[in-house]
Amino acid sequence: MKQRALGRNGPLVGAVGLGCMSFAGAYGPADRRESLAVLKRALDLGVTHLDTAIIYGNGLSEEIIGEFIRDHPGRFTIATKAGIRTQPTRHFDNKPGYLREALEGSLKRLGVDHVELFYLHRRDQEVPIEDAMETLVRFKEEGKIGGIGLSEIAPSTLERACAVHPVMAVQNEYSLWTRQPELGLIQACERLGVAFVPFSPVGRGIFSDAPVDPSTFGETDFRKANPRFMEPNFSANARFVDRFRAFAQERGWSVPALAIAWTLHRGDHLIPIPGTRTVRHLEQDAAAADIVLTAEDMAAIERILPAGFAHGPRYSEAQAVGPESYC
């Protein structure tokens, strides 16, 4: 697979990474053996960047990765995240004591003494970003992390953070139906030498070869309470996606591969991390790195899915707490 740099002077990783949230059942029941098979196939395909977090199954995703890398040391560039507490209630915490506790727990579950990238999963607005950065810089100086990441932030926060220390990567949701990062964040990352890591580049499964049926979502499926998958929004969104699906199929591409390829063509510093718990979907996702889109292709996609086409916000009010707004 083609490779891209994870930030200025950062390690080279496969152009398409792997988000590991679904290993912990965020989109329905997950099978541990199948998740391990996905990691094995990822190595075969050159998918070398794994993204996980403490809150993915309360450490389960990290444990599964740790189990796999015991027998495959040094093969993946691993990112994990901290900054969201779930007990006794969900809230954000960027204080030094908690971040250190969280990092040590992640390293133990992963079975390593160093992780290549460590993100603030969400900003704690009670802690100045400069103070949070100083904590992360100490972790780097101690050799516990290779680089600093930030998630769901505004460009202004990135500017302030980089004034303290270089940031390796910023992770925000970005896809054909979630395009706010185009209004400044992608540009700020390029200017500052920061990798931009889009999560959910296939729109939480909306960009799939087979039409999605929300009536099949389980009770634990994140999308069950998501406005874009609820009526009347879902039917309107499905009509747009049907046209995109036809466009992909006419050209012999899978729908998820084309959706991911579109993100890759938005800039050389973008490294999308589609999530999956099946080998078949991983193979579709990885194929995106081989798709070459012409200017005419990009223009056609823009006509089919114009910016802002999505009906409904990307999060419900309950889900929307944490991401920074800037437009």
Give me the active site residues, please: 56
- The single-letter code of the amino acid at 152 is E
Q: Which uninterrupted H or E stretch holds 131?
A: helix 129-141
C-beta of residue 25 within 8 angstroms of C-beta of residue 56: no
Query: In angstroms, rounded to a whole number, what is the distance separating the alpha carbons of residues 238 and 235?
Result: 5
CA distance 276 to 21: 8
Element (H, E) at 3: strand 3-5
- What does the alpha-carbon distance between residue 232 and residue 144 come to, in Å, rounded to a whole number? 48
- Cβ-count burial of 109 within 10 angstroms (0-12 exposed, 13-18 middle, 19+ buried)? buried
Decide if 112 contacts 65 (C-beta within 8 A): no
Q: Given the structure tokens 């309470």, which residue do they identify?
A: 225
User: Residue 247 in contact with residue 256, Cβ under 8 Å?
Assistant: no
Q: 74-103: b or e for each residue (b if 16 or more CB lie within 10 Å)?
A: eebbbbbbbbbbeeeeeebbbbeebbbebb
- 37 CB burial (10 A radius; 0-12, 13-18, 19+): middle
Asked if residue 35 lies in contact with residue 277, where contact means CB atoms within 8 angstroms, the answer is yes
Q: Residue 218 has which token pair?
A: 């389980």
Give the tokens for residue 139: 């972790």
